């Protein structure tokens, strides 16, 4: 209680400091007067009486100091004092202040902008109620389809049948919801008015999806289990974004009728604004449809296929339920379910049965596919920006040291007058922290702009669709991060100059700064330059490696032609086409597009090269034993119309490509690539051989009619040799044994039209749209771009890291050069006398230049020696991001060393030459 009262009094008296000071003065004066009078009474002379009185009173200034400490709040008072003092000093040297703040803003801004992304992609939970109660099945996301009765490593993707089995048997979940792993693209058309079909991303979800997330409708209602029953009236939920941007928040949308792939639905509600579905992704879904309507919309429905896995599962556990015991229960349930399908399982599935398991993992962040994709390069960028921040710190510390040198006399004087060393350190630190906070504030602005720029380049964006739900504007954690970084930065660059400031010998300094023996200032500054040179080398080498890797990727032999190729992306399913109509549709597309002036040929395929997706299967070569459970018999495949290989520019090496003779009724054929031939027919001639899909238990499905040159279709596995591929003619169907049903009807809904234009012909998108409209005005065009753009788009991330790292590398080089220039110039300046003497004694200017350069280069060489092992380590850290480029590539490392060396030469040559041009007379006179 007393302490509290005292604190309040102190606070009060702090506000009226002047009065108290005066009171103490009067009291001391009065005390001394009374004591003097007393002393005079005892017989002392007035002068001696006063002297004795003062002696008896003690050190007046010290007592005043103590009194002040008692009176106010010394900590805050000095802090305020130091701050005011620092601000005054900063105002007096605006150029210095602006330079330091801008340098800091760059470093803090870069770090903060990468942290904004790290936070959004790697750390943040979904914007749903109590995300910590959510658990997902699976450690890694496995998009988008999986077949059979076994999965590698873990069950992490599920069929509807398996989902209902879990839902009905697991006690620990309050709600367990399922939703499409891959997401769908719907052709959407409002039924009022004859609007064109627009394609929008969407997702099939269970009826309890929204209640599991604890999400309420923004307006209208969300899906309920009642909507998710076979025969229930088809309803859909729209995203807030689409409702607002496309329909102007029109309330009549709710209850309105919309066609999805030409099937009528009613939109019943709008999701809340922040909600972006169950995973962070580049293009968030705009529609949510009940799982039960999937067979209604999709021609190739997966809902009722027991062993077609295409759903992700997230559940909200009951309060108090232990995730570990739920996981144990579900493993048992999985085995029960698999055992109940023993009869349907292949021999290989049965062998793998014992290994089948699953994992329950925290699901508050949703399905973290984006996290898995971006984690590595975000880590790289985070490390790079921390390096930049370190270099910035070193640079600012260097500037502060110079400033400290200039203030030596002032500090000496302060200390001679009794200033405490700790107080001087505090003053210096206060100044630094002020700098870094200002730098941090400016850095936030830089971070905002930087984040937007990175998002723009790093994440694909499609016009008319939602962008990635990551906000560049700083959130609370980002603000805290920036503040923390500023504080740490301020201390990091401030501590050395502050410590140096107190190492001043007052006597030495006051005697004349220019003559003092002190080399004290130069060692720390030299160390900083070495540090900067080492870090710069690491950044330069890293950016060199990343750029070289990117160039290697872009200039590799892709095995297809990029010039004069345009890809028009469509999806016949969006316009409600049925399987049996497709061959006719592709024929029309071919005929009508080929007749466009400037077009020399056109073909349609499931996925064009570097499209980012491909289908794969296990291969069984005829005449060989069936592949076992652990045999590597995987191959990718594609489906295309006649003339495809000519259109895409991949040469056929032997046999023939896909032609018009391959029809629905002719023998089933396939064209393979060289990798397929190497993998399955080592040395034999594959033409005329047969193979089939091992999953279907078939070995004689296809006859090989041709071998095409290897072409790089996959946008992953870029560091590895090209994978085995086979290509099938579009009109041919793989019939299930003893039926007339196609085993994979979805693969006939081809996505990509490849168009070759004539040399020097110009083809506009409008011409293509017009031609497509004459094919079918209701068939939505998803995108039109050149094949070159499509390929370049796959390396967007890689290009972005390479560019950002190069930018930071150059930045660090500039900062390091400034540091080196500063140190060299400073040291040359200090040696003016010495140089004057040398010149007077007959040294020539070349020798002087060499002398100064030798000093500067010594530092750079030490920096290189320190930096080289770090640069080699950085290469290893980049590892897989280099796509097979040697991480210790000598050319790149040598180039980095030469660049640093050359820049250092320029930076130190200027002060060296300037030093050598001093007239000896002037130099000797300058005392």
Partner 1 sequence: MKQGILPVGNPMDQKREKSEVRQGTLALMVLKTLDVLGPLHGYGIARRIEQISGDLLAVNQGTLYPVLLKLEQEGSIASEWGTSENKRRARFYRLTREGRKQLQSETREWEQTAAIIGRFFAVKAEDLK
Positions touching partner 1 (CB under 8 A) are: 2, 5-6, 9-10, 13, 23-24, 26-28, 30-31, 33-35, 37-38, 55-60, 62-63, 65-67, 69-71, 415-418, 420-421, 502-506
- Give the shortest CB-5-to-partner 1 separation in angstroms: 6
Q: Toward partner 1, which CB reaches closer, 57 or 342?
A: 57
The distance from CA 411 to its chain's CA centroid, rounded to whole angstroms, is 46
In sequence order, which residues have a C-beta less than 8 Å from that of residue 128 and are 6 or more positions away?
Answer: 134, 213, 214, 215, 275
Under a CB-based contact definition with an 8 Å cutoff, are residues 476 and 139 in contact? no
Task: Compute the residue count for the chain.
Answer: 927
Find tokens 């398996």 and name the residue.
162
Distance (Å, whole) CA 280 – CA 895: 40
CB atoms within 10 A of CB 42: 8
Under a CB-based contact definition with an 8 Å cutoff, are residues 186 and 202 in contact? yes
Q: Toward partner 1, which CB reaches closer, 39 or 899?
A: 39
- Give the shortest CB-402-to-partner 1 separation in angstroms: 22
Bridge partners of residue 158, in order along the sequence: 311
Bridge partners of residue 566, in order along the sequence: 755, 786
- Give the shortest CB-80-to-partner 1 separation in angstroms: 20
Q: Toward partner 1, which CB reaches closer, 34 or 917?
A: 34
Q: Toward partner 1, which CB reaches closer, 252 or 422?
A: 422
- Give the shortest CB-28-to-partner 1 separation in angstroms: 7
Q: Toward partner 1, which CB reaches closer, 354 or 417?
A: 417
Nearest to 917 by CA among 812, 835, 837, 834: 835
Distance (Å, whole) CA 808 – CA 380: 12
Question: Do strands 198-205 and 184-190 pair parallel, antiparallel, or not at all (unpaired)?
Answer: antiparallel
Q: Toward partner 1, which CB reaches closer, 411 or 658?
A: 411
- Give the shortest CB-827-to-partner 1 separation in angstroms: 24
Distance (Å, whole) CA 395 – CA 100: 9
Question: Do strands 669-673 and 702-708 pair parallel, antiparallel, or not at all (unpaired)?
Answer: parallel
Q: Toward partner 1, which CB reaches closer, 10 or 216?
A: 10
Distance (Å, whole) CA 182 – CA 312: 9
Distance (Å, whole) CA 93 – CA 332: 73
- Give the shortest CB-116-to-partner 1 separation in angstroms: 43
- Give the shortest CB-18-to-partner 1 separation in angstroms: 16
What's the token pair of residue 857?
Answer: 């280069």
Distance (Å, whole) CA 544 – CA 620: 45
CA angle 327, 331, 333 (to 5 degrees): 115
Distance (Å, whole) CA 439 – CA 435: 6
Find tokens 């992304």 and name the residue.
117
- Give the shortest CB-399-to-partner 1 separation in angstroms: 25
Nearest to 272 by CA among 213, 227, 329, 324: 213
Q: Toward partner 1, which CB reaches closer, 161 or 505?
A: 505
- Give the shortest CB-30-to-partner 1 separation in angstroms: 5
Q: Toward partner 1, which CB reaches closer, 18 or 252?
A: 18
Bridge partners of residue 565, in order along the sequence: 756
- Give the shortest CB-497-to-partner 1 separation in angstroms: 16
What's the token pair of residue 303?
Answer: 């809902």
What's the token pair of residue 912?
Answer: 């060296």
- Give the shortest CB-498-to-partner 1 separation in angstroms: 13
The b/e string for 512-549 (b: 16+ C-beta within 10 A; e otherwise) is eeeebebeebbebbbebbbbbbbbbbbbbbbbbbbbbb
- Give the shortest CB-141-to-partner 1 separation in angstroms: 59
- Give the shortest CB-16-to-partner 1 separation in angstroms: 13
What's the token pair of residue 509?
Answer: 């300094």
Under a CB-based contact definition with an 8 Å cutoff, are residues 236 and 188 in contact? no
- Give the shortest CB-409-to-partner 1 separation in angstroms: 15
Find tokens 């698999």 and name the residue.
338
SS3 672: strand
- Give the shortest CB-85-to-partner 1 separation in angstroms: 19
Q: Toward partner 1, which CB reaches closer, 505 or 695?
A: 505
Distance (Å, whole) CA 462 – CA 284: 11
Q: Toward partner 1, which CB reaches closer, 49 or 188?
A: 49
- Give the shortest CB-873-to-partner 1 separation in angstroms: 37
Cis preceding linkage at 144, omega within 30 = yes
Q: Toward partner 1, which CB reaches closer, 236 or 504?
A: 504
The distance from CA 59 to its chain's CA centroid, rounded to whole angstroms, is 63
Nearest to 180 by CA among 262, 275, 266, 287: 287
- Give the shortest CB-34-to-partner 1 separation in angstroms: 4
Q: Toward partner 1, which CB reaches closer, 77 or 744?
A: 77
Q: Toward partner 1, which CB reaches closer, 25 or 700?
A: 25
Q: Toward partner 1, which CB reaches closer, 164 or 516?
A: 516
Q: Toward partner 1, which CB reaches closer, 34 or 906?
A: 34
- Give the shortest CB-414-to-partner 1 separation in angstroms: 11
Q: In whole angstroms, how far apart are CA 313 and each of 127, 300, 359, 809?
A: 18, 22, 11, 44
The b/e string for 85-111 (b: 16+ C-beta within 10 A; e otherwise) is ebeebbeeeeebbeebbebbbbbbbbb
Q: Toward partner 1, which CB reaches closer, 38 or 406?
A: 38
Nearest to 682 by CA among 736, 724, 733: 724
Sequence-separated contacts (24+) of 471-476 with Cβ below 8 Å: 471/120, 472/116, 472/448, 473/448, 474/112, 474/116, 474/444, 474/447, 474/448, 475/116, 475/119
Q: Toward partner 1, which CB reaches closer, 417 or 766?
A: 417
Q: For residue 870, what is the enclosing H or E element?
A: helix 845-878
């Amino acid at each position: 209680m007393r302490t509290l009262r005292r604190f309040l009094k102190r606070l009060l008296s702090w506000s009226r400091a002047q009065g108290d000071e005066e009171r103490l003065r009067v009291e001391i004066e009065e005390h001394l007067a009374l004591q003097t009078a007393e002393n005079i009474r005892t017989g002392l002379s007035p002068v001696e009486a006063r002297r004795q009185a003062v002696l008896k009173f003690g050190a007046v200034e010290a007592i005043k100091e103590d009194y002040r400490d008692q009176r106010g709040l010394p900590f805050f008072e000095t802090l305020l004092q130091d701050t005011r003092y620092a601000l005054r000093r900063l105002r007096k040297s605006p150029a210095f202040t602006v330079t330091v703040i801008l340098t800091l803003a760059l470093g803090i801004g870069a770090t903060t902008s990468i942290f904004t992304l790290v936070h959004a992609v790697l750390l943040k939970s979904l914007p749903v109620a109590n995300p910590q109660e959510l658990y997902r099945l699976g450690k890694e996301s496995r998009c988008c389809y999986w077949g059979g009765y076994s999965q590698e490593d873990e069950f992490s993707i599920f069929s509807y049948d398996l989902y209902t089995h879990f839902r009905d048997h697991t006690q620990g979940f309050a709600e367990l919801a399922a939703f499409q792993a891959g997401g769908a693209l719907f052709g959407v058309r409002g039924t009022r008015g004859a609007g064109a079909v627009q394609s929008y991303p969407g997702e099939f979800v269970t009826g309890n999806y929204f209640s599991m997330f604890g999400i309420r409708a923004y307006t209208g209602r969300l899906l309920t289990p009642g909507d998710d029953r076979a025969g229930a009236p088809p309803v859909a939920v729209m995203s807030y974004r689409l409702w607002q941007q496309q329909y102007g928040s029109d309330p009549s949308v709710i209850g309105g009728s919309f066609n999805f792939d030409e099937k009528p639905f009613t939109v019943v509600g709008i999701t809340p604004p922040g909600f972006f579905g169950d995973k962070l992704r580049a293009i968030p879904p705009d529609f949510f449809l009940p799982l039960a309507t999937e067979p209604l919309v999709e021609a190739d429905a997966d809902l009722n296929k027991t062993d077609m896995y295409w759903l992700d599962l997230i559940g909200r556990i009951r309060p108090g339920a232990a995730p570990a015991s739920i996981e144990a229960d579900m493993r048992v349930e999985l085995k029960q379910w698999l055992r109940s399908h023993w009869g349907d399982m292949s021999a290989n599935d049965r062998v793998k049965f014992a290994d089948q398991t699953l994992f329950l993992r925290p699901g508050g962040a949703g399905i973290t596919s984006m996290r898995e994709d971006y984690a590595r390069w975000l880590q790289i960028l985070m490390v790079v920006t921390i390096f930049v921040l370190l270099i910035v710190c070193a640079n600012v510390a260097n500037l502060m040291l110079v400033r400290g040198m200039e203030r030596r006399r002032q500090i000496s004087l302060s200390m001679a007058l009794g200033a405490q060393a700790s107080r001087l350190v505090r003053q210096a630190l206060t100044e630094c922290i002020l700098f870094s906070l200002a730098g941090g504030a400016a850095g936030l602005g830089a971070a905002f702009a930087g984040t937007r720029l990175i998002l723009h380049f790093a994440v694909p964006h499609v016009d008319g669709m939602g962008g990635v739900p990551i906000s560049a504007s700083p959130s609370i954690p980002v603000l805290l991060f920036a503040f923390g970084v500023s504080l740490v930065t301020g201390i990091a660059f401030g501590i050395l100059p502050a410590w140096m400031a107190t190492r001043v010998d007052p006597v030495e300094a006051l005697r004349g700064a220019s003559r003092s023996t002190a080399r004290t200032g130069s060692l720390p500054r030299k160390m900083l330059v070495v540090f900067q040179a080492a870090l710069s080398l690491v950044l330069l080498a890293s950016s060199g490696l990343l750029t070289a890797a990117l160039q290697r990727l872009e200039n590799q032999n892709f095995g297809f032609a990029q010039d004069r190729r345009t890809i028009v992306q469509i999806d016949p399913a969006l316009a409600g086409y049925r399987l049996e109509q497709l061959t006719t549709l592709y024929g029309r597309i071919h005929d009508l597009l080929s007749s466009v002036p400037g077009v020399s040929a056109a073909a349609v395929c499931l996925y064009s090269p570097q499209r980012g997706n491909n289908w794969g299967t296990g291969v069984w070569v005829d005449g060989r034993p069936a592949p076992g459970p652990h045999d590597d018999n995987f191959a990718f495949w594609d489906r295309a119309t006649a003339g495809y290989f000519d259109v895409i520019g991949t040469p056929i090496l032997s046999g023939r490509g896909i032609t018009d003779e391959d029809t629905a009724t002719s023998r089933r054929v396939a064209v393979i690539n060289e990798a397929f031939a190497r993998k399955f027919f080592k040395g034999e001639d594959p033409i005329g051989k047969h193979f089939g899909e091992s999953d279907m238990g078939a070995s004689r499905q296809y006859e090989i009619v041709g071998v095409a040159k290897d072409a790089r279709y996959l946008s992953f596995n870029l560091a590895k040799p090209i994978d085995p591929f086979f290509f099938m003619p579009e009109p041919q169907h793989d019939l299930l044994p003893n039926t007339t049903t196609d085993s994979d009807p979805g693969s006939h809904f081809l996505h990509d039209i490849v168009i070759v234009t004539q040399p020097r012909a110009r083809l506009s998108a409008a011409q293509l749209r017009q031609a497509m409209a004459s094919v079918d005005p209701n068939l939505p065009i998803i995108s039109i771009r050149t094949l070159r753009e499509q390929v370049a788009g796959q390396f967007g991330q890689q290009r972005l890291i390479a560019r950002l790292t190069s930018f930071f590398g150059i930045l660090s080089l500039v900062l390091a050069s400034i540091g080196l220039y500063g140190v060299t110039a400073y040291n040359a300046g200090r040696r003016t006398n010495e140089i004057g003497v040398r010149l007077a004694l007959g040294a020539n200017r070349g020798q002087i230049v060499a002398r100064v350069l030798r000093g500067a280069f010594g530092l750079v060489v030490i920096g290189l020696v320190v930096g080289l092992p770090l640069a080699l380590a950085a290469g290893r850290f980049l590892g897989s991001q280099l796509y097979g480029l040697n991480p210790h590539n000598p050319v790149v490392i040598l180039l980095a060393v030469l660049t640093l060396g050359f820049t250092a030469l320029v930076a130190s040559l200027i002060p060296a030459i300037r030093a050598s041009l001093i007239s000896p007379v002037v130099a000797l006179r300058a005392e």
